[in-house]
Amino acid sequence: MKFHAMASVVVLFMISTATFSQDSKTPQVTPNSKEEQPPQSNPLSTFNRFAYSRLKTTLVASAEKMPEENYNFKPTEAVRSYGQIVGHLADAQYTFCSTALGENNPGLRIEETKTTKAELVAALKNALAYCDKAYDGMTDASGAQTVKMIGMDMPKLGVLNFNKMHSMEHYGNLVTYMRLKNVVPPTSEKAPTAQQNK
C-alpha cells in the first residue's frame, strides 16, 4: 500500500514536471517588450539545483539548531529519535544521489552507527556534499535519462526530486520535534533586521 501511494506521488510529480517542461518551451514575452526572450538553458535542472540548495541549508540548520540533549528525544517509542531522523536523512542522500549518479550506494548506515550530535551533523554535511555532485552535474538532457528506483524506471531528475520530497517529509518530523522542545525551526525564524544608522 505504501509503495502504491509513493508511486502515485512520483507519477503525479512527473506529469507536472512534463507539463512545466512543455510550458517552458513557449516563448516568453516581458510585459514591457514584445520581443521574445531567449529560453533559459536547462530550466528544470537549474530550478532543481536551486530548490536543493535551499533544502540543504534548512536541513543543516535543523541538525545544528537542536541541542545535543534532545537528539535522543522521540515523542513516542514507535518513532525515530531526532538524531535517528538526521541519520536517516543522511543515508537517504546517498541512496537517491548514488542512483542518479549511476554509482554504488556507499551504504554507510549512518542512522544505525552515529549517535552524537557532532557525528550526525558531520555525516549529514558529508552526505549533502556527495549529493552536490548529482545536482550540480545534472542537465535537462541527462536528467531525462532513466534509472531503476523503487522497482520502476524513473528519470534521473525524478530521482533527485524524489530526494527533495523525502527530505521535506522528514523535515516536517524535525519541525514537530523542535516545536515540542520549544525550538523555533529554521524556516520559521524571523529574518534579522538591519540596524539603523545612528
Q: Is residue 57 part of a domain?
A: no
Helices H / strands E in the chain, number of each: 7, 2
**pLDDT tier at 10 (50, 70, 90 boundaries)?**
very low
The mean pLDDT value of the chain amounts to: 86
pLDDT of residue 171 exceeding 50: yes
The CATH number for 93's domain is 1.20.120.450
First to last CA, the chain: 62
48 located within any domain = no
197 lies in some domain: no
Q: Is 106 helix (H, G, I), strand (E, B) or coil?
A: coil
Q: Does 50 map to a domain?
A: no
In total, how many domains does the chain have? Answer: 1
Residue 110 lies in a domain: yes
Is residue 90 a part of any domain in this protein? yes
Over the stretch 96-139, which tens digit does the pLDDT of each residue have?
999 999 999 999 999 999 999 999 999 999 999 999 999 999 99
User: Would 24 be classed as within a structural domain?
Assistant: no
Cα gap 64→110, rounded to integer Å: 17
Residue ranges making up the domain that contains 97: 80-185
- Residue 137, in any domain of the structure: yes
What number of CA atoms fall less than 13 Å from residue 120's CA on the CB side? 29
Residue located via cell numbers 544505525: 112
State how far the Cα of 158 lies from the Cα of 140, in Å rounded to an integer: 11
